[in-house]
Structure 1
Amino acid sequence: MKRGRKIILVSHCILNQNTVVKPLARAKGAYTKIVEEILNHEIGIHQLPCPEFIYLGLQRKPMEKEEYDTSQYRSLCKNLSKTVLQIIKEYLKNGYEILGIIGIENSPSCDINGKKGIFMEELFNLLKQSNISLKTLDIPEEYEEGKNFSTLKNYCQSYKLWQ
């Protein structure tokens, strides 16, 4: 079967809520409805690493961006971003269309469009240096799996990531 050659990059917790800080998880596993919507459009999903999980593990406490903003954590995010940039370049070199990146609103690491998270700051700095521009979308903080998907679906469609 021929590949569709369309990819979307997603923050780690979209596919695995088990890595989210305990009180903040909003689904039992993945954001199933979001994943189904992407798959229904025959788009491949590339899961980004979770720097918070790598840095502090599952037992970490909820922290603000300012608490994560240390030289050690920023270095980790920069190194992870270099790997992601290599992956993006490999897709592009081979004729794939990267539809965009989906982040998480108000995440200290993965917020893209608001108070940009540290991981996304580092990743978008590298993308800019490489003259790569991608569409972006943040899953709203109020989204909870199974409760308000139609609103989220309309929100996602307004960003035209997969139309």
Structure 2
Amino acid sequence: METLILGHCILNVNSRAPGIARWRNVVRPVWDIIRLRRASFLQLPCPEAVYLGLRRWWFVKEQYDNSLFRELCRRIAVGFSEILEENNVRKFKLVGLGISPSCGYRETQSDSSWGGRPREVDVKSNLKPEPGVFIEVLDETFRKYKFDYEIYDLPPAVIYPEERTGSRMYPKDFESCIREICSFIGYDCEQLPLNEYEKLVDLDSRGGMILVAPAEIVTKNRGLIERYVEEDYGLMLIPTSENLNPEKEIIADMYVKQIENHLNVGHKILLMMPELSSNLYRKTLEFLKKNGLLERITVV
């Protein structure tokens, strides 16, 4: 089974904009597939949360389609590609989020009239059949690195409130969405509690708790990570890298900026301090200390 490269908020719903989070901590069906399948995965940083923080308005693609945001996405894409190469991950499946202005693939929210004074807007029909900004940049970068990959985006009905379900490109009912996800990842959906998921979703139910840990802890102590998820913690898993360069250190810097933005809205951050971790995780800790953030974080 190929490694999964996950859009950040799939495992950390707390990074989503207010009003569009259907889960408390993780998108549970995807997490259950990863957990039960023991799938290999890596989690991208969230460029939106880095760029605009956690009190951002709902945006459309045109608002993110600017030189500064594209450069931010490019730096993340290059740094992450360097990490993939180091870890010999050359074949993978990239999982985005349907109709997202940054992480959508089949469709993205698009409306050139958005901007200026806040007002009521149409969020049902402002769709365009093209990728969001971050997925575009990732695709361009991954092609340059000659990776072998597929791109998919989660159906909107799984991640957005009911008024945002996308067009006919996406399944509409919850069970059909889960079946499509399983088909792409390669998992027998009959092993999932399909009838239970809709009981777990609610509008904007973000729990506001996040566990920051090195990605390698998932393989070394998966049970511990699963326990934190059961306690409603979202996950921020820093990928493994020993041979650092400026491009890879950008990834540590992005995670630190995102952590600071979470702290600034009152989210609780738990930081794991394992005896053994990669140089990239240690660089992340160094940046946290340099920016005076460790004193605002609970170390476990």
* Counterpart selection for 1:51 from 44, 47, 52: 47
Task: Determine the C-alpha separation between the residues in 1 that align with 2:159 and 2:106.
Answer: 19
1:11 equivalent to 2:36? Answer no
Task: Determine the C-alpha separation between the residues in 2 that align with 1:91 and 1:101.
Answer: 16
Match for residue 137 of structure 2?
122
The runs of at least 4 aligned residues of structure 1 exceeding 3 Å deviation read: 96-99
Match for residue 34 of structure 2?
38
Partner amino acid, structure 1, of 2:180 = Y
Q: How many residues align?
A: 154
Task: Determine the C-alpha separation between the residues in 2 that align with 1:82 and 1:46.
Answer: 15
Task: Determine the C-alpha separation between the residues in 1 that align with 2:159 and 2:51.
Answer: 26
- 3-state SS of paired residue (1:9): strand
Match for residue 249 of structure 2?
none
Match for residue 66 of structure 1?
62
* Counterpart selection for 1:113 from 100, 106, 117: 106
* Counterpart selection for 2:155 from 108, 118, 140: 140
Match for residue 186 of structure 2?
162
CA offset digits 1:33-52 (Å, max 9, x no partner) = 21111221111221111000
Change (3 A) 1:10 1:89: same
Partner amino acid, structure 2, of 1:122 = V
| TM-score (normalised: structure 2) | 0.48
Task: Determine the C-alpha separation between the residues in 1 that align with 2:92 and 2:72.
Answer: 26
Task: Determine the C-alpha separation between the residues in 2 that align with 1:38 and 1:112.
Answer: 21
CA offset digits 1:3-59 (Å, max 9, x no partner) = xx9521100010011110101111111112211112211112211110000001011
Structure 2 residue runs without a partner (length 5+): 108-129, 161-172, 188-300
- 3-state SS of paired residue (1:101): strand
Match for residue 95 of structure 2?
102
Change (3 A) 1:50 1:68: same
Task: Determine the C-alpha separation between the residues in 2 that align with 1:83 and 1:97.
Answer: 15
The percentage of aligned residue pairs carrying the same residue is 28
Partner amino acid, structure 2, of 1:110 = C
Moved more, 114-123 or 55-64: 114-123
Task: Determine the C-alpha separation between the residues in 1 that align with 2:25 and 2:138.
Answer: 25
1:27 equivalent to 2:52? Answer no
Q: Over aligned residues, Cα RMSD in angstroms?
A: 2.2
| TM-score (normalised: structure 1) | 0.85
TM-superposed CA distance for 1:97, in Å, is 6.7
CA offset digits 1:130-163 (Å, max 9, x no partner) = 2213122211111159xx653233102332x335
Change (3 A) 1:40 1:30: same
